[in-house]
């Protein structure tokens, strides 16, 4: 025991022990670095391989999209060449065509080109189909003049088909926007009164209202972009009023333009317009409720009263005849 204590307390032994510990620490440190470097190299190789795989997938996807975009570009070029060669814009489009297409949700020069192209090609296609059916199926024994006349009449009627479809699209879009506009105003009022700017309020409401009305969410998003990039906010408000073309939205946009021009409170203007919107909504509901009894009169007379008379008179008639 004394020998062990003497050995542990010996100066040379302590120096040798410390040297051995230092050497082991150095070896461990360098070995750990080499191990980490190996792990790092393996991780780098795995990340590089994963990046390469993602790049390959992205290139494959882009090649597919390029093919689609090239096909779409060729189709657009063909439509544009036909429209320009026959000067179809002068015949089928005017100053209000672009605005009507925007009100229906179709924007850009390609929408005008496609609309004009359809107005030109649909009558030709209908004429060819109608003449084929009249010539070989419906009226094979009729005179050629009558067959051509009937086919030409069908083609003239079909020329109004794009106009009717465009009007129907505008009406449905306006109905969707009108149903969600009151809630949109309430949300905008809450955002503005909470301290948001009008741009942030439009952006926030555009994300929230899209579940109720995608059309209104789209218009709010487009107005948000115009508010951020146009020189004047009033121009963005006017563009939104023109695109939607509803009286209640025009009134709100006019109030916002006046607030911007005269420096009045946007929150107070929105509060007044929101109250008016709720009142108008209630008036429309009351109007529909008041119009319900006259609408029920004809079904009541045709379907309910005869059955009621039969039920009341049948026992008396049975007893008399018996």
Question: Hey, is 322 helix, strand or coil?
Answer: coil
Do 255 and 273 meet the contact criterion of CB atoms below 8 Å apart? yes
- Here the contacts of 15-21 (C-beta below 8 Å, separation 24 or greater) are none
Q: Which of 117, 119, 118, 97 is nearest to 108 (CA)?
A: 97
Convert the pLDDT of each residue in 72-115 to its tens digit.
667 777 787 887 777 778 878 887 888 999 999 888 778 888 89
Contacts of 134 (CB under 8 A, 6+ apart): 142, 147, 150, 151
> Would you write out the chain's pLDDT as a tens digit for each of its 322 residues?
556 566 656 666 665 666 666 666 565 555 555 444 445 556 555 655 655 565 555 445 544 544 455 666 677 777 878 877 777 788 788 878 889 999 998 887 788 888 988 888 999 999 999 999 888 888 888 888 888 899 999 999 998 899 999 999 999 999 999 989 988 999 999 999 888 888 899 999 999 998 889 999 999 999 998 888 888 889 999 999 999 999 989 999 999 999 888 888 888 888 888 888 888 888 888 888 888 888 888 888 888 888 888 888 888 888 888 6
Listing DSSP states for 199-248 in one string gives HHHHHHHHHHHTTT-HHHHHHHHHHHHHHHHSS-HHHHHHHHHHHH--HH
Torsion of CA 134, 140, 142, 143, to 10 degrees: 80
Q: What's the residue count for the chain?
A: 322
Do 218 and 105 meet the contact criterion of CB atoms below 8 Å apart? yes
d(CA 210, CA 206): 6
Convert the pLDDT of each residue in 30-45 to its tens digit.
555 544 444 555 655 5
pLDDT, position 177: 93
| C-alpha pair distances (Å), 322 with each of 227, 314, 315 | 85, 12, 10
Q: State whether the Cα torsion 166-167-170-171 is positive or negative.
A: negative
Angle at 23 between CA 19 and CA 25, to 5 degrees: 115
Do 180 and 208 meet the contact criterion of CB atoms below 8 Å apart? no
pLDDT, position 165: 92
Model confidence, pTM? 0.68
Q: Which two tokens stand for residue 313?
A: 């008179």
């Amino acid at each position: 025991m004394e020998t062990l204590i003497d050995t542990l307390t010996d100066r040379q032994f302590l120096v040798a022990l410390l040297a051995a510990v230092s050497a082991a620490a150095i070896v461990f440190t360098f070995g750990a670095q080499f191990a980490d470097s190996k792990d790092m190299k393996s991780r780098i190789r795995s990340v590089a391989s994963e990046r390469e795989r993602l790049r390959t997938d992205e290139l494959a996807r882009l090649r597919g999209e390029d093919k689609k975009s090239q096909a779409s570009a060729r189709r657009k070029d063909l439509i544009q060449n036909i429209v320009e060669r026959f000067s179809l814009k002068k015949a089928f489009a005017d100053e209000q065509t672009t605005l009507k297409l925007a009100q229906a949700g179709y924007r850009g020069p390609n929408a005008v080109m496609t609309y004009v192209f359809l107005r030109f090609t649909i009558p030709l296609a209908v004429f060819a189909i109608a003449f084929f059916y009249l010539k070989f199926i419906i009226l094979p024994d009729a005179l050629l003049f009558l067959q051509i006349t009937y086919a030409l009449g069908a083609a003239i009627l079909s020329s109004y088909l794009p106009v009717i479809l465009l009007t129907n699209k505008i009406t449905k879009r306006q109905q969707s926007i009108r149903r969600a506009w009151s809630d949109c105003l309430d949300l905008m009022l809450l955002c503005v009164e909470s301290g948001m700017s009008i741009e942030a309020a439009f952006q926030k409401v555009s994300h929230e209202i899209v579940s109720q009305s995608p059309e209104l969410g789209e218009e709010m998003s487009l107005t948000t972009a115009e508010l951020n990039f146009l020189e004047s906010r009033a121009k963005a408000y006017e563009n939104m009023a023109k695109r939607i073309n509803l009286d209640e939205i025009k009134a709100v946009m006019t109030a916002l333009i006046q607030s911007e021009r005269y420096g009045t409170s946007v929150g107070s203007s929105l509060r007044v317009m929101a109250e008016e919107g709720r009142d108008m909504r209630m008036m429309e509901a009351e109007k529909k409720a008041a119009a319900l009894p006259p609408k029920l009169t004809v079904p009541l007379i045709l379907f309910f009263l005869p059955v009621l008379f039969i039920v009341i008179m049948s026992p008396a008639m049975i007893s008399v005849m018996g």
